[in-house]
Structure 1
């Protein structure tokens, strides 16, 4: 999976697109043959995100102006992602129970399945939308964590840890345990989201908008009036460099997951073959 051919495919123009022949990669884990453990995982993460978001805002309060902050937007879309992911897993689980396959088709994530399925594009539109959302949420989420602690950190309280550290832990765990594909060229999606946010901050500043403390900026590093060179550099660097690098980091984690999962499957298959041979020879 992580061969030279695998990386060459990442730089083809069609890799900008959303063609993927195995829909169940979006609702299953490469680590389990049964969908139940991953369904439970998705449910727990979804409940965690919803409960922590609601609890944090009930304790610290929330106002409409909080929506101007990328941190707030990032946590909202991360929470929404966990809800959508859980719903898709439930739909897949109960759909597969209503339309069971024959015993010959029960095995999930075999090499033959992957090779055959990926030869065609059978991905429904809602999975494609989820795929774009996934790239945006995770790329922006990792960027928020790095940018906050590198440029803005002035508070190490529980709220900052929750919104700027644990959010990243959730992202890393999800990439590690899910089978959701990551493509290198899909960095365009989180970068497009960042571009839209930068445009919003400029419009907000021009319109005379202020932060929650009535300062004429949203973030001090985006003070277009007081330090336009720094603000422009931060904005451009985030869109063109930082966020693509965050996506590349997640891509590397996904490739490592694929390599390790493939290695485990091959070892398991080898052990199964050896056990079958022992049984055939009356040694087990």
Structure 2
């Protein structure tokens, strides 16, 4: 297991891992040398759930809302969740049913997947927290509203609990980058005269770009929330590994745990 100092090594900013096969394994599968069928089923179901919610989030919008669907951070986050679950399912399916060459080639996607997963996990939790504490109003409540602001985090938490891949503390930079990109987009959109889907002046009530000091204050607070949530996710990842030791202690003693996760033989 790495020391705390190792977690702050500058190399950990980058999405590189010495054993890419860790990204197609579950923390909880007994045999950590080959893909697990149950894990494959879970991954595919998570992707299907995200894809269905993603499609419904657009299809159930009003005609006015459809062409403004992309201006909402909720839909950015949902798209990230859907893409990362697609990459995870693709890598696992190809590794399960393909030969060694197919597996080696598809695992080259792990860096892209890892970056998007780091974004999606933290952003999903942040969206749910910020929405239900600062934005939600009783009149907004609907099944679709819960799916895009609640089910996103539930599915990402299930995803987080079953994977074997590590969480890097310094990967907080990725959700920060996507959030800064969204904040920049919202400011430009407002400056160009863009409005919310109900023709309200503001996309979100906390993004009032004609009140810059308060808006920047909210943005800074959200960045802090992202750092806290990512750190909490990292600590939960360490806890997940500790719990896994109780079940797979013999395996771990043989040296298959590395970087807080499972070191696997390439398929």
TM range (shorter): 0.7 to 0.9
User: Is the Cα–Cα contact under 8 Å of residues 176 and 253 in structure 1 kept in the other structure?
Assistant: no
Kept in 2: contact 1:175–1:253 (CA 8 A): no
Distance 2:177 2:191 in 1: 21
Q: CA deviation at 1:59?
A: 3.6
Q: In structure 2, the residue corresponding to 1:221 is in which secondary structure?
A: coil
Q: Deviations over 1:199-256 (max 9, x none)?
A: 111111111111112222211111111x3222110112222x1111111121122111
What are the ranges of 5 or more consecutive residues in structure 1 without an aligned counterpart?
Answer: 101-122, 271-284
Q: Which runs of 5+ in 2 are unaligned?
A: 254-267
- Aligned 8 A contact 2:53 2:148 in 1: no
Kindly tell me: are residues 268 and 186 of structure 1, through their superposed partners in 2, closer, same or farther at Cα, counting changes over 3 Å? Answer: closer
**Normalising by structure 1, what TM-score?**
0.79
Is it true that 1:210 corresponds to 2:206 in the alignment? no
In structure 2, distance between residues paired with 1:56 and 1:13: 38
Q: Residues 171-250 of structure 1 correspond to what in structure 2 (within 5 A)?
A: 171-225=156-210, 227-239=211-223, 241-250=224-233
**Equivalence map 1:86-101=2 (5 Å):** 86-95=89-98, 98-99=99-100
Look up the match of 1:144: 127
How many residues were matched structurally? 241
CA RMSD of aligned residues (A): 2.1
How big is the shift at 1:42?
0.8
Q: How far, CA to CA, are the matches of 1:129 and 1:54 in structure 2?
A: 23
Q: Give the aligned partner of residue 133 of structure 1.
A: 116
Identify which of structures 1 and 2 has the higher relative contact order when contacts are C-alpha pairs closer than 8 Å and 6+ apart. 2
Give the TM-score normalised by the residue count of structure 2.
0.84
Bigger Rg, structure 1 or 2: 1
Report deviation, 1:268: 7.5
CA apart distance, 1:30: 1.8
* Partner in structure 2 of residue 52 of structure 1: 53
CA distance in 2, matches of 1:268, 1:20: 20
1:156 equivalent in alignment to 2:150: no
